[in-house]
Amino acid sequence: MSINPDPHIQVRPLPEVMPDLGELHPVLARLYAARGLSDPAHLEYSLRHLLPYQGLLGIGTAVELLVTALQRQQRVLIVGDFDVDGATSTALAMLALRQLGLGSVEYMVPDRFKYGYGLTPEIVAVAAKRQPDLIITVDNGISSLDGVAAANEQGISVLITDHHLAGATLPAAAAIVNPNQPGDSFPSKAIPGVGVIFYLMLALRARLRDLDWFEKAGRGEPNLATLLDLVALGIVADVVPLEYNNRIMVAQGLARVRARQCRPGILALLEVAGRDPARLVASDFGFCVAPRINAAGRLEDMSIGIECLLTDDPARARELAASLDRLNRERRGIEDRMRRDALDLVDSMQLDDARLPVGLCLFEEGWHEGVVGIVASRLKDRLHRPVIAFASTGDTDLKGSARSVKGVHIRDVLDAVATRHPGLISRFGGHAMAAGLSLKRANYAAFASAFDAEVRQHIGEDDLRGLIFSDGRLEVENFVLELAESIRTGGPWGQGFEEPQFDGEFVLINRRIVAEKHLKLTLGVPDSECLLDAIAFNTSDADWPADTTRIHAVYRLDVNEYRGRTSLQLIIQSLQPV
């Protein structure tokens, strides 16, 4: 976080008529209403409220494929993706199919540096050496036309489970389960890959129950709810909107982790991150667990992360978590260097804000292919515009990772560029806020220009200032630990159901730098005797006037824990001297 000299703060609007949400703290009721929650039943996160799996197009055909695989004990190969959604999807598919009685199930994740994303013909060639009868894709496959065709030629059936947007033509797979394919009426289009495979396993279990599979096999029916810790982690990590259906699965998964009824690997990752499972919230998944698993896919091999999630041995889980923690520290070092390079590139353009590309493309020789997505995300947050960071994948090819801002659907932008400029992009895929693409190095300048021109059709001047949403001001009586605890546990908060933050003016009592890069503050609430501890991470007040006595801040109420004691603390998101 950096000090924002000109924050554009917008208070979340409240409905004209406040809904009756029951016996809640008035501030909490206000927060829910501002996020569009009008039915108190949507604060009930029981599994019985999950949307029925029958709404997913193609799920019946997919289930019959899997029933045949179980009855014939076919060889099944899971082909995953190299992010956390892909890793949790792969682990869940492996565990569930084994619990349901499949004897031969393996997985593979394409090496992003050799084969790229998805079920490509090259991956099929590698997979064929294992002689699978059925390939199941998780968190990928909807754009794998050539890969599915190659599998069909080899006599390998393909079951696609995915959530990414479909192109004009669908692969010729034996079955496709994807809520975002044409004709699908499943109400939640925001469910990620791990949610799709979880739903498929629920449907398969129901079908096996009807066939008396468990009774005939002399085995107990598995409780698939034990896998919700993986589902919750994948949902949070993929930053999909936390619609009600997704919130149910996240809430259930968090509850399992808090009770330590979860995968040993998740507990081990929380341990290396210094987080107490008993006080776990969704953001701990997003900021502590997910980056460590992602580091494996970015720098080495995602199988390290998958094995950490699969193992039942706590000692092995701690060993793998330590390896992932080491990779994450290495990733942070690479990211820091690349981010500095990127900012130097922006500075070297010698352009003011008005002339800086609105859709910004950056490329530097030597950038790490696995880290460009993080760099694009950091610059997007800083410059308030869509950013694509590119890395070289050979003498003639570039691979880019795109991150977008609210209101600009990045995959649709890439689709429009590809339509208007045939041949400019080699391939692309993704969703609203993130996408990936490949193009020829010789096309980079033309693409950068076309991308900027297209983004300008979708973004306004106010958006480029950086919009900060606030839940308004708090009265002095609300600066209490009890409200902070209620907000903390009132989630799960996340994308589309954003964690509450407030804004207001404070008296600056004291300020100092701690740990060389964080700004520690003591603040006073005007016209009161209330004093508050606050911290702004990764920032400085070096440019402030020495006699600054007041600041305006956007902040979150937080519960600070230190040596077994808890206290109220403000986490500063943005601030400026007044």
**String of DSSP letters for 420-471:** HSTTS-SEEEE-SSEEEEEEEGGGHHHHHHHHHHHHTTT--HHHHT-EEEE-
The torsion angles phi and psi of 528, rounded to 5 degrees, stand at: -155, 175
Q: CB of 107 within 8 A of CB of 80?
A: yes
Domains parsed from the chain with CATH numbers: 8-37+468-577 (2.40.50.460), 52-225 (3.90.1640.30), 349-464 (3.10.310.30)
- From 430, 376, 411, select the one nearest 142 (Cα to Cα): 430
Global pTM value = 0.89
The residue ranking higher by pLDDT, 165 or 401, is 401
Q: Find the distance separating the first CA and the last CA of the chain, reported in whole Å.
A: 19
Q: CB of 256 within 8 A of CB of 223?
A: no
Unique residue bearing structure tokens 């190969």: 77
Tell me the per-residue pLDDT of 2-25, one tens digit each, with 9 for 90 and over.
Answer: 334 455 788 999 999 999 999 999
Q: CB of 410 within 8 A of CB of 434?
A: yes
Report the DSSP beta bridge partners of residue 362: 389
**What is the spatial distance between Cα 363 and Cα 445, in angstroms, rounded to a whole number?**
10
- From 526, 484, 504, select the one nearest 573 (Cα to Cα): 504
Strand 134-138 and strand 76-79: the pairing is parallel
Unique residue bearing structure tokens 């055909």: 61
Tell me the per-residue pLDDT of 297-333, one tens digit each, with 9 for 90 and over.
Answer: 888 889 999 999 999 999 999 999 999 999 999 998 9
**What is the spatial distance between Cα 555 and Cα 569, in angstroms, rounded to a whole number?**
10
Q: Give every CB contact of residue 59 below 8 A, 6+ residues apart in sequence.
A: 53, 177, 199, 200, 203
In angstroms, what CA-CA distances link 504 with 535, 551, 553, 564?
Answer: 15, 8, 6, 30
Look at residue 4 in the predicted model and tell me its pLDDT: 41
Query: Which spans in 118-227 are helix H?
Result: 121-128, 145-153, 193-210, 213-217
Q: Classify 74 as helix, strand or coil.
A: coil
pLDDT classification of 123: cutoffs 50, 70, 90: very high
Largest Cα–Cα separation, the chain: 80
Tokens of 435: 């996408």
Tokens of 424: 């400019």
Q: CB of 76 within 8 A of CB of 133?
A: yes
Tokens of 240: 């999909």
Q: What is the arithmetic mean of pLDDT over 72-81?
A: 96
Look at residue 351 in the predicted model and tell me its pLDDT: 58
**What is the spatial distance between Cα 242 and Cα 232, in angstroms, rounded to a whole number?**
11
The torsion angles phi and psi of 141, rounded to 5 degrees, stand at: 115, -20
Report the DSSP beta bridge partners of residue 284: none
Q: Is pLDDT above 80 for 117?
A: no
Tell me the per-residue pLDDT of 333-368, one tens digit each, with 9 for 90 and over.
Answer: 998 898 888 888 888 876 556 678 999 999 999 999
**What is the spatial distance between Cα 415 and Cα 397, in angstroms, rounded to a whole number?**
19
**What is the spatial distance between Cα 139 and Cα 160, in angstroms, rounded to a whole number?**
9
pLDDT classification of 112: cutoffs 50, 70, 90: low
Look at residue 1 in the predicted model and tell me its pLDDT: 38
Look at residue 400 in the predicted model and tell me its pLDDT: 94
How many other C-beta atoms are found inside a 10 Å radius of the C-beta of residue 108?
A: 18
**What is the spatial distance between Cα 470 and Cα 446, in angstroms, rounded to a whole number?**
39
**∠ CA 465-401-292, rounded to 5°:** 100
The residue ranking higher by pLDDT, 297 or 492, is 492
Q: Give every CB contact of residue 310 below 8 A, 6+ residues apart in sequence.
A: 91, 94, 95, 263, 265
Q: CB of 92 within 8 A of CB of 201?
A: yes
Q: What is the arithmetic mean of pLDDT over 280-287?
A: 96
**What is the spatial distance between Cα 388 and Cα 400, in angstroms, rounded to a whole number?**
6
**What is the spatial distance between Cα 4 and Cα 518, in angstroms, rounded to a whole number?**
15
